[in-house]
Every structure is written in C-alpha cells, then in structure tokens.
Structure 1
Amino acid sequence: MNPIKILLAVVAVMLVGAGIYYAPIIDRLYFSVTMEDEASMAENLRIADTKYRTHIIPRSSNPEAFPKQLKKDVLPESFINHGKAISSADFLKESRPTGLLVIKDGQVIYENYWQGLKESDRQFAFSVAKSMTSVLVGMAIGDGLIDDVNDPVVKYLPHFKGSAWDQATIANALEMSSGVDFDEDYSRTDTDMRRFQIDFVLDKPVEPFLLSLDSAGPPGVKQGYNSMETQLLGFVLRSVIGDRTLADYMHEKLWEPLGAQDDASWTTDVTGMEITIGGLSMSLRDLAKVGQLFLQRGQWKGEQLIPEFWVLESTTPSKPYQMPGRDNPLSEKPFGYGYLWWTPVDPSGREYYASGLYGQYLFVNEEKGLVIAMYNANINFNQDPDGWKERYEDFFQAIAQAL
C-alpha cells in the first residue's frame, strides 16, 4: 500500500480517537459556558448532572411522602427588605423560581413548580451540598469515625502535612476559617474558583488543586468564604468511611431512613471523588425532608439519625467571626455562619438555612415548626449575591411571621 495512504489512514484514526476522547470535555465546556442562558437556565439546572460524572444516591426502599394540607394565602402579599416593601409577586417574577415547598408542623401547606420542574425532578443545588456535607460530618462523628471536630485535618489526611491546610482543624474548615487563600468572586473570570472550574471540566482531579493553595493567615481568626474548605471535608469523610463513597454513605445514613422518594446524584471528579462544594442534585421534596429532620433535632420516627448536639452546634454561630451583622470586621459576609449553615442577618429566634448559587435554599424556623425548600433559576443572582440572599431571607422570614 502507498506509504502516504497508510500515514493518512493512521492520522485519520488518531483524529477520530481524539474526537471521541475530547467530545465529552467539549460538551461540558459548552454547557458550563451557556449555563446562564436565560431561555435554557431552568432546564440546564435539571440536566446538569447528566453532563458530568456522578454517583447515584438511590431513593429509599420505603419511599414516603409528606402529608399535605394545602392552604391559601401562605405567601405574604409583600415583605420588607432594607426598609422597602417588595411585592411577593414581583419578587417571584424577578427571581425566576422553579419550585417552592412550605412545610408547617410536618405537613405540606404550599407546593408549586415553575419552568418545567416537576415534583419528582431533581435540580442541581450548588452550595446546598456544603450543608449536606456538614450533615455527613456530624453523622461520621456520631458513628465514631471522626473522633472530634477539633481534630486537625492532617490526622485524617497525613499527606496534607506541609500544605496550607497543615494547621487547620475540622472545625476551621466547617467554619471557613482555615486561613487558606482562595479567591471566590463569581463576578470575575480571573479567580481561583474559575481556575478550579476549568480544571474540573478538563478532567483534572481536585486533590492536587487543594494542595496547590497557599496560606493567607493563621486558622481560627476570621471567616472568609472558601468553597475548598468543604472539598477538604469531603476528603476527610472519604478517608474514614472505608470502601464506601459519600453517595453510599448518604444513602445508607440519610436517604434510606428518611424515606427519600427520588434518586439524588452527586457529581464527581475524574477519580470518583464527590464534589462536596456543590455537586448534589436532589428533588425539592427530598431536600425538604432534611430540613424537617433538622427541625426535629435529628430524630426521625424514633431514631436519632443525626446527633442532637450536632444539629444545634452546626446551626448556631458561636465565635466572633461567625456572628451575623453588617459591621463584623472578622467576617466578609453580613450573615451568620455555623458549620456550613447560614443564619439570617437579623434572625428571629432559631433560624438557619442552606444556600446555593442562583437561588437554591433550605430554610428552617424552629419556633414556627417551619421548613421552606426553594429552587430558582435566578439569572440575575451573580450581579448581587449578598443582596439577593438578603431578599430571600426576608421573603422566608415574612412567610414565617405570617403563619
């Protein structure tokens, strides 16, 4: 055969092979770039877990629905934000919700879905996964797999000795007070978070990224929002649960006993490590069950699924840099922070919540026996993340006050 034809055939085979190899990466890159397209954002959040590697968290073998007692006028006509009355109808139009579920005293009193989301659909919940990771840390402590929240992380990850994480404790990571330097400004493209996202899409494992970070100061001094703190906790958990994945552990300890009605999924990196900073997709009704579990101080049908002390400790700011307030010099945020759970700027009793990018929320008000789960496809969120978070807080608090 003609040598040139042989060479061309080999090149053609190599190009086809390269195309097959790189096609998923190109697809993920395109999907990531177009995530915020207004016309398709709601659908993108529903299908996000089909674009990445995932571990499935199967629904419970005994799925169980909340009882329903739907009521009228659950949502207030308006609420106050920074002294200004905002129409709830206008707020919902602007925030572009996909689902809203309100539970009072264990019964669903309001449930609605928009933009194609159905009650059994799961949606990418972004940093709500951080609060779920905190839940798993508490369970691991309850199981005796982690000795103490004040243990240094290198006790469980000895290969992190000498890195920026060397002096940090598990509590520091839960509080986001490790002192590790990480730029997470979503309004810019020249940040550490953007670098992490690009590495992830290009199939680079996440652990080397964590080990590459530098220290900005000593741990336990101030709070600085750093998603990598939660990823570190994911590695701590994986180091103590044996051959199980985090998805396995979550199914066994949470989804199965809660009677979860739907499969959830957890995005992983190329090595199979779950992306604990924000890789969970769940149905709204199953997410609400976690809120109800917390409302019940970790008890479910007579069984203590989460240690009660963990429910209280993880949702209660206690150190100066965790306290809410717009004038707290030790925190870059006006909100309170526990162990990967937020508290409102102006709390009304015991209130706390999980929060994710583009408007994903799980809000609990203990005094009112209230759980609110809400998904959004808020295309405007990144223009003013803290401002939007305050508006959601005020909306949820107004619902609580009206009941």
Structure 2
Amino acid sequence: MTTKKTSIIKVALLSLLGLILIAGVYYAPLIQRLYFSLNIEDEASMPENLRTLHQYYSTHLIESSATPQPFPRQLQENVLPESFQSHGETIKTKAFFTDAKPTGLVIIKDGQIIYENYWRGLTESDTQFAFSVAKSITSVLVGMAIGDGLINDVNDSVTKYLPHFKGSAWDKATIANTLEMSSGVEFDEDYSRTDTDMRRFQMAYLFDKPMEDFLLSLKSNREPGISQGYNSMETQAAGFVIRSVIGERSLSNYMHEKLWQPLGAQDNAYWNVDGAGMEVAIGGLSMSLRDLAKIGQLYLQRGRWNGEQLIPESWVLESTTPSKPYQMPGRDNPLSEKPFGYGYLWWTPVDPNGREYYASGLYGQYLFVNEDKGIVIAMYNANNNFNSAPDWWKERYEDFFQAIAQKY
C-alpha cells in the first residue's frame, strides 16, 4: 500500500514538474521581456539594451535594399563646436557628451558625410531602437499614402478609413488631428510615474494585447483641433489608418517598398508589432544610424531621391511647418503643453534658425534637418537620465544641433 501511494505521489510530482516546465517554456519569452523592460535604463547595459531591444519582442523585418547606396564621404576636421549655448549657459561639447551618453553621430553636409563616429559598442551597421523617431516615419508613410492616392486628404475623418472607430473617442478626429496631436483624446503620458495611461499601455503591450482595443477604450476630454497635447496614441491611430488603405501589406512591407528599397538602405530594420501583428507606430522601429540619416536627406531634398519623387514635396513642407496656433513654438503658447513647434509628427526648435525640424525619441534619439545650411544630423544616445527632464534634455540636444548647423 505504501509503495502504491509512493508511486502515485511520484507520478503527481512528475506531472506537476512537467506542467511547470511546459509553463516555463511557454512563458519564458514573457519573463525575459519583463526582466529586460525593468532593466532597460541600467546605465552600464543600456547601450546594448537599445541595440538588442527588437530581439525581445515580436517584429516585422524590413529588409535592406537590393541596391544599397552608401553616402559619399568627405570627412572634415573641427565639425563639432567646442561649446554651445543652452539654457542660458555655455556648455562644452566634451562635457555634453559625458552627460548625453551618445552611441553614434552622423553629420551630412550637401549630401556628403562630413562626420561619423560611434561609441559604447554601436557600429555603423548596428540597429538601435529609435523610440518616437518612428512617429516621424509614420508621418512619412502618411504622405506616401496620400501621394499614392490611398488617402484622399489629411483632413478626412479617421472614421472614414476606420468605420469601426465610430462612437469612440476618435469619432470627431481627422487624420490631421492625430498627426498634430490635437484630437482631444485623453491620454496621460508622464514617464516619471507608474500610475499613467502610458504605463497601462506598456503593460498591455508586454502581454501581447492588441493595441486597437486599447485605443478604443480611451475617452475624449475636449473637442479636436483646439489645442495640442502630446499623446502617442494619436500616432497609433494614424498607423491604423495607413494599415487600412494599403491592402494586404503591413506597414513594414509598405516602408520597405516605398522607402527602404528606393533609398538604398544598407541595413535591415525591425518594427515591433503587437499580438495582432500591427506595427507599434508610436515608437517601435530599430534601424541603423546611417539609414536613418537617409530619411533626413530625403526630406532635405523635399522628397526627391535619384530623380524620383518618393514623397510629395507639398507633404514635406506641410508636415514640417507649424501653421495653426497650437502648433507654434514658444514658451508662452497657452494652446500647447510644449515649448517646441510641432508639424505633422515632426518637431521644430523653440527658436528656429531658418527652416529646421527634427524627429525625437526617448533617451536621446534624433534626426535633425536644417534646410538652409544643407545639414542633416542623425544621433543616437543611451541617456538613462533623459526621463528626469525630457523637455530640458530635448532643448539641450536641439541647441547642440543648431550650433553645428550655424558653423556652416
């Protein structure tokens, strides 16, 4: 009898162990992802974390171009200023680099690389997660979809393309509203707290929940087209609009066909997707710095590349030019919560020097264009202190970029 009981217990324990092992295998990717997310800001490992982030999530591959086109190089001395002005003080560039923790910097003048350098393990062919720089790429794809006749007008309603959004917080919003972040949809995006809508979104994404469900759960707190309030979910809504008009293609397919291939992108890129296979338009792209710089050069050239108009010139101008009161830069603009200007998912400096605009991502990812000087600057950082004062840091980075441009 004792032997029989012992056998039963052994079988039960083995079955339990088997279930634990099966659960461990099943949940291992989630456990790894959670651990990775909790430690992403660790200073020592952050550069590697940003290089490998796409390996911990489901992604769509954006293959490099079949005909890669490297930038011509004409490296110059003394490209970087020794110092620059920011927040009323003189900052030594060397000290700025110590604080900003750059991983890569590419500067292009008149279509040629004049400066290129990498730090902290990044190489020219490595990808780095670019966070909200993906928002500006989403704007590029909207412009391409308009150029292809897939979207009639940026002032069309969101529900024209997403009829199942009718009755939701997005009911009155236009595509333009989502690109300006003026939809009136309520979303708390404070990264310094854990009790926010952004944290709820991040947790849902970690567990592979469809982003569309999250967007449809949000509420509206004001009429659209009245004021600007930074809300990443607006970009995701724009991403869903693109997805609805490009047929069987994903955003990644469309980006490869319309952008990566004709630009001669040299490296693969990766776009994070949710459990339903939808790209994270708000900030899910990993790409090399040299390929990111090509997008800046494309915009500098008003959407033209190798004699072909990849993006309508009118879109390049419209998307990078604040025009409505709530889009205008200024520290005392009551209609915007930010001092920077904002076009269609492209920022402009607090104090622009001519036609300047840029893409910006968490922890210091940037693509900056000064058209008057013929300058494109692409910069990756692993700035683990960025979230302590994001707008302060953003202004310091843009002051640095403007100082570079003003040397020419």
Q: What range describes the TM-score normalised by the shorter chain of this pair?
A: over 0.9
Q: Write the letter of the residue equivalent to 2:165.
A: F
- Give yes or no for the alignment of 1:59 onto 2:64: yes
**Correspondent of 1:36 among 33, 41, 46:** 41
Counterpart for residue 318 of structure 2: 313
Aligned pairs for 1:2-401 (under 5 A) are 2-401=7-406
Output the amino acid matched with 1:188.
R
1:305-350 Cα offsets, whole Å, 9 max, x none, are 0000000000000000000000000000000000000000000100
CA distance in 2, matches of 1:72, 1:249: 39
Residue identity opposite 2:190 in structure 1: D
User: For residues 16 and 255 of structure 1, what CA distance do their matches in structure 2 show?
Assistant: 42
Offset at 1:270?
A: 1.1
What is the rounded CA distance, in whole Å, between the counterparts of 1:351 and 1:115 in structure 2?
A: 29
* More deviation, 75-84/222-231: 75-84
Following TM superposition, by how much is the alpha carbon of 1:271 offset from its aligned partner in structure 2, in angstroms?
A: 1.1
Q: Spell out, residue by residue over 1:378-398, the C-alpha distance to the aligned partner (whole angstroms, 9 max, x if none).
A: 111011100001001110000
Counting matched residue pairs gives 403
* Cα distance in structure 1, aligned partners of 2:87 and 2:203: 37
Deviation at 1:5, TM superposition (A): 4.3
Deviation at 1:6, TM superposition (A): 4.1
Deviant stretches of 4+, over 6 Å: none
SS in 2 for 1:402: coil
TM-score scaled to structure 2, two decimals? 0.97
Give the structure-1-normalised TM-score.
Answer: 0.99
Return the alpha-carbon distance in structure 1 between the equivalents of residues 397 and 267 of structure 2.
26
Residue 233 of structure 1, CA deviation = 1.0
SS at match of 2:105: strand
Distance, in Å, in 1 between the alignment partners of 2:180 and 2:229 is: 9
The 2-side partners of 1:309 and 1:89 are apart by 39
Deviation at 1:84, TM superposition (A): 1.1
Q: CA deviation at 1:12?
A: 2.6
Secondary structure (helix, strand or coil) at the match of 1:89 reads helix
Q: Deviations 1:151-208 (Å, cap 9, x if unpaired)?
A: 1101111111111111100000000000000000011111110111111111211111
Q: In structure 2, what is the Cα distance between the partners aligned to 1:9 and 1:235? A: 47
Q: Deviations over 1:248-283 (max 9, x none)?
A: 000000000000000000000111110010000010
What's the offset of the Cα at 1:11? 2.6
Q: CA RMSD in A?
A: 0.9
Distance 2:390 2:112 in 1: 31
Shift of the alpha carbon at 1:10? 3.2
Partner amino acid, structure 2, of 1:294 = Y
Q: Give the drift of 1:8.
A: 3.4
What is the alpha-carbon distance in structure 2 between the residues aligned to residue 261 and residue 202 of structure 1?
33
Cα distance in 1, alignment partners of residues 240 and 385 from structure 2: 33
**What CA distance in whole angstroms lies between the structure 2 residues aligned with 1:4 and 1:164?**
56
Q: State the SS of the aligned residue for 1:340.
A: coil
CA distance in 2, matches of 1:373, 1:224: 26
| Paired residue type of 2:390 | P
- Provide the rounded CA distance (Å) in 1 between the counterparts of 2:185 and 2:124: 39
Segment of structure 1 superposing worse, 74-83 or 295-304: 74-83
5+ unaligned residues in a row in structure 1: which ranges?
none
Please list the CA deviations of residues 219-256 of structure 1 after superposition, one character each: whole Å capped at 9, or x if unmatched.
00000000000111111111110111111000000000
Where do 5+ consecutive residues of structure 2 fail to align? none
